[in-house]
Structure 1
Amino acid sequence: MEIKAFEVEEWMNKYEDDAKYNIAETCVESLKVGELLDIAAIDRGEFFNDLAETKLTYGAIPGSMKLREQITQLYHKKKTIDNVIVTNGGIGANFLALFTLVGPGDEVVAVYPTYQQLYSLPEALGAKVRRLRTEPEEGFIPEMNKLSSLVKSNTKVIVINTPNNPTGACFGEKVMQEIAEIADKVGAWVVCDEVYRGLEHNGSYSVPSIADIYEKGISTSSVSKAYSLAGLRLGWVTANEEFIKECFKHRDYNTISCGMIDDALALIALKNKEKILDRNMKIILENKKILIDWVNRTEKISFTIPNAGTTALIKYDHEMESEEFCKRMFEYNGAFVVPGSCFEFENHFRLGYAPKKEVLVEGLGAIGQFLKTI
């Protein structure tokens, strides 16, 4: 199987460790284990004593029952543990859902800019992928007439990502309903990467999941972004029971189970989701104000203000390809962002605005310094 290089991951791997000002990260400022325990009011000594006595077996193959029960609470419509399968992170959830659904000759429609996995993986699996590009003038929301024109009678899957990486756009319930209606007309599935769900700027989980809206809706998510726990490598797929059964057949070949310790810590996080999300939304909304102010006073820089998540796609008005722009800036002063070319969106760069406040301020200052040199 031939597959394209994963541009954003290769860029991160190449430069991240040497970055002086890293505002390319997409998680809200990551939690330490001790911080998670403090949020949950769990005694550290007791926890680590219990951990020392934990026998490291495979654990519950589908994910523990308690964890899956907590995951079901994230959805607006009633779900059971039979609607959930636990995976190795959100990227594992996307892979499992698409690997289960897509084969050679299948017709797939993907909305972009987005996480490259969502269209490059179906292409590698042999599908014909038609892509719909969203535009800043439309708030990076897919235009329904354009989407309808791409969806054919034999379309098998529509792939979307909301809240969106890299744009920070959140589709809203009406748009999600319209996408579901377009899919339903031809019997297509809808796979929605919802890894930033919970970080809607007008209120956590204010928009229903595609798994709430549509019988053939498949939600993928994780504790990485909204819960600041990317190091746990714990994600999930939520869908109707029959599809989850199909996922198990494919999952057995590459996962077996997720780590017991990851499972236990993710359970603690989801049991305390309100506290973690309150902490994270405070960081996001304060930093968003800083970002908006910086854009407004920086020449030849503009953006569509995000309404969810942690990322923004910044436009620069300079005659320079985005990879060269970002590389020259990195070499100049160590400011690290992701070129728009990684999302097939030139003359832009993606930044993450949810690290510690001082990291964001210093990073934006470094970008401003570089801009004065070009």
Structure 2
Amino acid sequence: MQLPPFLIERMFAKHEFTCRVNLTGSDTEGLSLNALWEVAPEDTRRWYESLTLGYTESPGHPLLRELAAQSSGVRSGSAVQVFAGATEAVFVLLNAILSPEDHVVVIGPTYQLLIDVPRAIGAEVAELRLRREDGWRLDVDEIRRALRPNTRLIVANFPHNPTGALPEAPVFEELVGLVDGTETLLLSDEIYRGIELEPQRRLPSAAALTSNAISVTGVSKVLGMAGVRIGWTVTQNEAVTARLLDYRYWTTLATSAPSEVLAIAGLQAAPALMDRANGLVRANAGALASFVESTPGWDWVPPVGGTCAYPWLTATEARAFSEWLVDRHGVLLAPDVMFQHAGQHLRFGMGRALFPEGMATLARAWPEWQREGPSPRHG
């Protein structure tokens, strides 16, 4: 399997740890260990401190699997497979269930992993993009028309990266209904589920609605624990679970014992950590709204859920501006070319504590850009 360059990860490799403000990262502010132990059970902390650093069970620690199942509204931990991050979970899932004879429908624009791994496997991929002129609305009828007899998988991600879109529950349930009782599966990337600008808009987990859905999530975005590198799949489809485990023996085999205990602590403290994440995102979304809605040259469809927003520049090419902004002012924004959606959009990540500082710099930099434009090497 030949994989293309991973565009946004290459950008992060170049700038993430050298820029002054990362205004585009899609995680929430990293949680300190001290802050975790302030809200997690004391016995879990003692377990962590006395942990033996041996191998772990390949499917994941039983308690972690039970807590993950509960968080998705599924009864049994046997429905959960734990991986070294949600990225590995998606990669293993796609390789375990797809073949070159398959057809895949992907709701875009999307994180490159979700669309280019199926292509690399050799499957035929139809990308159906949400459109800003429709308010990033999910059109289930369009997806229905795209299905074929050999459609093996529909790939969805809600709350959506990069647009912040979130369908109403009946629309999402209609999407899930497309695969129920068929030979088609739904990969529901739910890594941002739990962050909603309107709390009543939280969607159910797809895995709780049908055995033909595989939900993928983890601790990185909503719980502020990206460095723990723990993610998981949830599905009531026993055949898919078995295939995931067989494939997984060939990758990381099992996850880190300390990371599993930290993930358990995070799930045990999830209500407090989700409140923290939602507080950050809602405050930062307000700051972004004030800027976009008062600044000529910018427009947007306001986000509804997750950490991401996707404003666009009305008269400026996004890539040139983003390169100028990080070079001149040390503020990192991802242009839409990172989502194979080239044009005028920029992805903002609203979960970081330095977001207000980044927005203040952006507000000062924008008039400078309008006066001077890009440097010759960007022109």
Same fold (TM over 0.5): yes
Contact conserved, 2:181 with 2:212, CA < 8 A, in 1?
Answer: no
**In the alignment, which residue of structure 1 is the partner of 2:364?**
369
More moved, 338-347 vs 175-184 = 175-184
Contact conserved, 1:162 with 1:197, CA < 8 A, in 2?
Answer: yes
Contact conserved, 1:30 with 1:228, CA < 8 A, in 2?
Answer: yes
**In the alignment, which residue of structure 1 is the partner of 2:375?**
none
| CA offset digits 1:73-122 (Å, max 9, x no partner) | 1123x421110000111111111211111111210010101111111000
* Matching residue within 300, 314, 317 for 1:317: 314
**In the alignment, which residue of structure 2 is the partner of 1:347?**
344
Contact conserved, 2:169 with 2:201, CA < 8 A, in 1?
Answer: no
Contact conserved, 2:335 with 2:347, CA < 8 A, in 1?
Answer: yes
Gaps of 5+ in 2: 371-379
User: How far apart in 1 are the matches of 2:234 and 2:329?
Assistant: 43
**Cα distance change, pair 335–250 in 1 and its aligned pair in 2 (3 A):** same
**In the alignment, which residue of structure 2 is the partner of 1:131?**
127
Q: Is residue 147 of structure 1 aligned with residue 152 of structure 2? A: no
* Matching residue within 292, 301, 305 for 1:295: 292
**In the alignment, which residue of structure 2 is the partner of 1:182?**
178
Aligned residue type for 1:276: L
User: What is the 5 A alignment of 1:66-215?
Assistant: 66-76=63-73, 78-184=74-180, 187-203=183-199, 206-215=202-211
Specify the SS of the correspondent of 2:240. Answer: helix
Aligned residue type for 2:365: F
More moved, 208-217 vs 170-179 = 170-179
* Matching residue within 202, 206, 216 for 2:212: 216
Aligned length: 367
Q: CA deviation at 1:280?
A: 1.5
Specify the SS of the correspondent of 1:368. Answer: helix
| CA offset digits 1:36-74 (Å, max 9, x no partner) | 00122639xx947x5454221112221111111111111
Q: Identical aligned pairs, as a percentage?
A: 28
Q: Is residue 239 of structure 1 aligned with residue 251 of structure 2? A: no
| CA offset digits 1:193-252 (Å, max 9, x no partner) | 110011122228831111122220010011000000000000000012221111111001
User: How far apart in 1 are the matches of 2:205 and 2:53?
Assistant: 34
More moved, 5-14 vs 182-191 = 182-191
**In the alignment, which residue of structure 1 is the partner of 2:278?**
281
Q: After the TM superposition, which segments of 4 or more aligned residues of structure 1 sit over 4 Å from their partners?
A: none
Gaps of 5+ in 1: none
Aligned residue type for 1:364: M
Aligned residue type for 1:351: F
TM score, norm. by length of structure 2? 0.92
Specify the SS of the correspondent of 1:207. Answer: coil
Aligned residue type for 2:261: A
User: What is the 5 A alignment of 1:230-269?
Assistant: 230-240=226-236, 241-269=238-266
Contact conserved, 1:103 with 1:126, CA < 8 A, in 2?
Answer: yes
TM score, norm. by length of structure 1? 0.93
User: How far apart in 2 are the matches of 1:86 and 1:42?
Assistant: 24
Q: CA deviation at 1:142?
A: 2.3
**In the alignment, which residue of structure 1 is the partner of 2:19?**
19
User: How far apart in 1 are the matches of 2:302 and 2:246?
Assistant: 42
Contact conserved, 1:155 with 1:186, CA < 8 A, in 2?
Answer: no
* Matching residue within 208, 222, 225 for 2:221: 225
User: How far apart in 2 are the matches of 1:217 and 1:148?
Assistant: 16
Contact conserved, 1:199 with 1:205, CA < 8 A, in 2?
Answer: no
Contact conserved, 1:152 with 1:186, CA < 8 A, in 2?
Answer: no
**Cα distance change, pair 186–239 in 1 and its aligned pair in 2 (3 A):** closer
